[in-house]
Amino acid sequence: MRRKSTRTRTVSRRKPRKKASLFSGKLLHFSIIGFFILLIIGLAYHYRNGLAYYFSFKSNKLSYEKAEAKRISDVRNYEVLKNHEGKAIGIDVSEFQGKIDWELVETIEGNYQIEFVVIRATAGNDKADGQFETNWLGAKKRKIIRGAYHYYRPNENSLEQAQLFIKTVHLHKGDLPPILDIEKLPKEQSLTNLKLGLKRWLKVVEAHYKVKPIIYTGEKYYDDFLKEEFSDYLFWIANYNFYRETMDDHWLFWQFTEKATIPGIKGNVDANIFNGDSEQLGFITIE
């Protein structure tokens, strides 16, 4: 008698697919949201002084002009000034600010005393600033330490530029040393010739006023083109970046914003910090 063959049926079992975890998806989502909330809270805490100023003092108490639209730069400006309490604060102006009411020029952002002003005198080899004489006398009447600067045009004769500045600016005891403003690269000459021209301007002006000039420029321009060959000069550095909140030790002046609010001056104004207090500022003036 034959046995019936029994076939064993093999059933293949599929491995169950892993279902996407609803919990892990939500966790990721909330983690991202949480990160940004913490970031905002951290920034708000960091700029708490500026924000308090922005939403209270500035909006309620500034009355010289119609209240301007609130700007995020105001928060940083206040924070920077707060970080440098005790250092001398000043501004720089030119004909672009129009006619200034010097009787009202007293503080920056309502709180910080203006202790110096730098005034554009000349530009290139043929341009005298239209408001220089008025601003020069206005600053003197307000008994604010004043300085004069020349805007250097790289493609124009450096000696002619120096002579124009000397002809225009008469410095006296208590004034800041002459200042050379260099911001542009040449289009019609080499970088070597640019540096040669700058050195000629500086030497001629120093010989006339018997004091070493100060050089104004942007931080990147300073690092890339001037840092090495002009290391025996003192520098006034411009940097408006939001992340920059303190000045470097080797800067004489720091122009930290081009959007300060000053009673007596319409529109935005460049604001600066001297790397020292008001007494130390007096030490670098002409004797």
In terms of Cα–Cα distance, which of 268, 195, 164 is closest to 255?
A: 268
> Choosing from 92, 175, 181, 219, which is the catalytic residue?
92
The token pair that represents 69 in the structure block: 């639209």
Query: In angstroms, rounded to a whole number, what is the distance separating the alpha carbons of residues 118 and 251?
Result: 16
> Choosing from 103, 183, 223, 277, which is the catalytic residue?
183
Q: Which amino acid is at 232?
A: D
Task: Specify whether 228 is catalytic.
Answer: no
Q: Which amino acid is at 20?
A: A
Task: Specify whether 68 is catalytic.
Answer: no
The token pair that represents 38 in the structure block: 């913490």
Residue 137 — left, alpha, or beta (φ > 0 → left; ψ -120 to 50 → alpha)?
A: alpha
Q: Which 3 state secondary structure label does DSSP give 140?
A: helix
Q: Which 3 state secondary structure label does DSSP give 181?
A: strand
In terms of Cα–Cα distance, which of 41, 155, 163, 147 is closest to 94?
A: 147
Query: In angstroms, rounded to a whole number, what is the distance separating the alpha carbons of residues 221 and 107?
Result: 30
Instruction: Give the residue numbers marked as catalytic.
Output: 92, 183
